[in-house]
Amino acid sequence: MTSSFHRLYSFRRCPYAMRARLGILFAELQLELREITLKNKPAEMLAISPKGTVPVLQLVDGVVIEESREIMVWALEQQDPQGLLDATILHQANALIEQNDNEFKHWLDRYKYADRHLEMTQTEYRQRGEAFLQVLEKLLTKNPYLLGNNATLADIGIMPFVRQFAHVDHDVFYSLPYPNLHLWLQHWLEHSCFLQAMTKFQPWQEGDDVVIFPC
């Protein structure tokens, strides 16, 4: 690499890329960002990560990190001014993220793309996904964040997926009996880090000027 910055390949609307960017923002790091389009993935990204999914982080020493959870943890291990990697609840945070990434994401995809998965109705897919929302709601009856009075890895790791679930049908989501989850999601949607994470960038092309994130 010729850049003096770590380099992140990202796609603005991807929830995995969102949480990677949130990790970087909470770590107060700066890096080079290359926004991609999924229909025209740059050869430079595919050369270092043939699986072709985002996010992909290439460190200045050439090491490549391909998983969003690992990018979040890497960033917060560099510095963690707000204590998101609280060791006392890290096991719980990882367990929740694991449930999100496996069980909830499975039903979220089918709820969002119910026309591609005709085995069940969209309502049935939504109800299956709600099992995880109920877990989150129960946690949020006790504290403003998922695992206590402060944000943790669990919050930033899960929020983009709840956001995506809510966006399938906004009116239906906010009619569901999860008032604490609604407040939690709204808090994150208005959070300065999330707003910064959702900054729009033009897709990167070879020869473009380096884009530093956050700006």
| Fold held by 90-191 | Glutathione S-transferase Yfyf (Class Pi); Chain A, domain 2 (1.20.1050)
Work out whether strand 31-35 and strand 7-10 pair parallel, antiparallel, or are unpaired. parallel
Percent of the chain, pLDDT > 70?
Answer: 99
Q: Would you say residue 167 has pLDDT above 70? A: yes
Looking at residue 157, the DSSP 8-state letter turns out to be: H
Q: Where are the domains of the chain?
A: 7-83+195-213, 90-191
CA 31/CA 166 separation, integer angstroms: 30
Across the strands, what pairs with 64?
Answer: 58
Does the pLDDT at position 2 exceed 60? no
Q: Give the CATH number of domain 7-83+195-213.
A: 3.40.30.10
Residue 215 — very low, low, confident or very high, per pLDDT cuts 50/70/90?
confident
Beta bridge partners of 167: none
Q: Rounded to whole angstroms, how far apart are CA atoms 162 and 198?
A: 16
What is the side-by-side order of every strand in the sheet holding 7-10?
Answer: 64-65, 56-58, 7-10, 31-35, 212-213
Q: Do domains 7-83+195-213 and 90-191 have the same CATH topology?
A: no
Concatenated DSSP letters of 181-200: HHHHHHHHHT-HHHHHHT--
CB atoms within 10 A of CB 141: 10
Do 104 and 161 touch, CB atoms closer than 8 A?
yes
At residue 1, the pLDDT reads 42
Give me the pLDDT at residue 40, please.
Answer: 93
Q: In the predicted model, what is the mean pLDDT of residues 145-159? A: 98
